[in-house]
Structure 1
Amino acid sequence: MSTIHRIFWCAALSCMAMSLAGCGNGDDPGEATAKPEATVSPKAAATSGPSNPYVKNLPQLERASIEEAKQLQQELRQLLATDLEKGEAFRLQTVEKARLWGEKISQYVTTNLAGQTIPLKPLEGRPYAFDDWVIVDFPKGPDTLNLLRTKTTIRLTQDLTDQSADVKDFMMGRRIAIYVKAVDLDGNEIPDMKIPSTLSANRAEMVEGKTFEFYFNMRSRDVVRLDNFGGFVEITRDEYNAK
């Protein structure tokens, strides 16, 4: 095999590895002797297992898409090792399947979860209060970051325009930072799921009643562990930085 062909087929494998994110543009797959078979359909995944009160069956959907992508990647490697032409046709089909999975999951969140409120336990003694914490969307595809987006708004309960105000735990220069950790339905911390959110603001804007909107994003590897998700707990910067 020439060097050019080796580069081309390595790129094909790399694209398949990223198929969960919707890599590719859904070209006509053409004919192929092997066709990728779904391990479980999106519809079946969306109704499998117990439904979480806040994210419903989203973890099952995300896991099913990941498991299928891994299986198809393995099949693709085997096919490329024996027949490059058939392997390329198979790759195009798997890319299309990944795109369809992404559409199904995004639509599931938009239809079933957008606007869903999520419980939050705030820190005491902070000069701000939280409004509702809600799920926004889960954009998936080659031009997105593939993050489950949630958001909340904080409202200042006192003026912070004085430079001597004690804000060192949640302000760094012009940046306001809020940190949370995910907990299960029993209130226990879900390991390795601490999420930060920051925004920039001038100290002159820090007056009582001023509101600021924060987005908190969850990665795919977090979403698959939300079966027993019970909400968020606000934490300090030190706790966020601690291992």
Structure 2
Amino acid sequence: MVDRDAVEPAAVNAEVPHAARIWNYWMGGKDNYESDRAAGDAVAEVYPQIVTMARQSRQFLIRVVRFLAAERGIRQFIDIGTGLPTMQNTHEVAQGVAPESRIVYVDNDPLVLAHARALLGSTTDEGATTYVHADYHDPGRIIEEAGNLVDLREPVAVMFMGVLGYEPDLAVVRAIVGRVMDATAPGSHLVLWDGTDTGAEVADGAEKLVESGGVPYILRTPEQLGRCFEGLELTDPGMVPITEWRPDRTAPGVDAYGAVGRKP
């Protein structure tokens, strides 16, 4: 359960489902309330695959971060819309490969801020982890504050992991992604995954989430997500279901696509 002493009272309303806590529940975490579990169960009733999607999204993150650190030599990561910490977070994976890695977590949620304080001490002798309290609609602020820890003159991985559906306008999404990537050095990478409208049941699940009091989430086509990578060099296998991106084991398919692109 949520540690009430670690969370500012004003930041918590246990009676209203909360997006980060619902996702935490689907992932098997314990930082959630009854309202979150009820909303999560309502979605899973019409779209059982959502639990698989949530857990496979973390496996995708693990594979991508390990790939970037081990094979592309990336030592700086900006994880935008990080959500509640669960298992094998970005800093743990990156610093497990390269202890000198520097990680900036970004989120605008007061509840995430409270939990993120625990991560601020998660450093190695060489690396560091910090948190920026900002909305991804303010990329200028993200770039400015992230620059206090990472050197934007050197390659960095920018990560948008299942969060851009909260913005309904694709043009705005592309502008946000483009603004952040424009501030990075050549050799930087964009990592992005999101839920897609590739099945009837996933649309039913999105509707049920809203009916249960959750925040609406826009499902896009894989082609629309791919437009965020224009001007970048896609890493094989390109834009694919997240379970098919360099898998280390067989997993069921999900209505979520992702890709990694390199800035030339």
TM-score w.r.t. structure 1 length?
Answer: 0.25
Higher fraction of strand: 1
Higher fraction of helix: 2
Which one has more relative contact order, counting CA pairs under 8 Å at least 6 apart? 1
TM-score w.r.t. structure 2 length?
Answer: 0.24
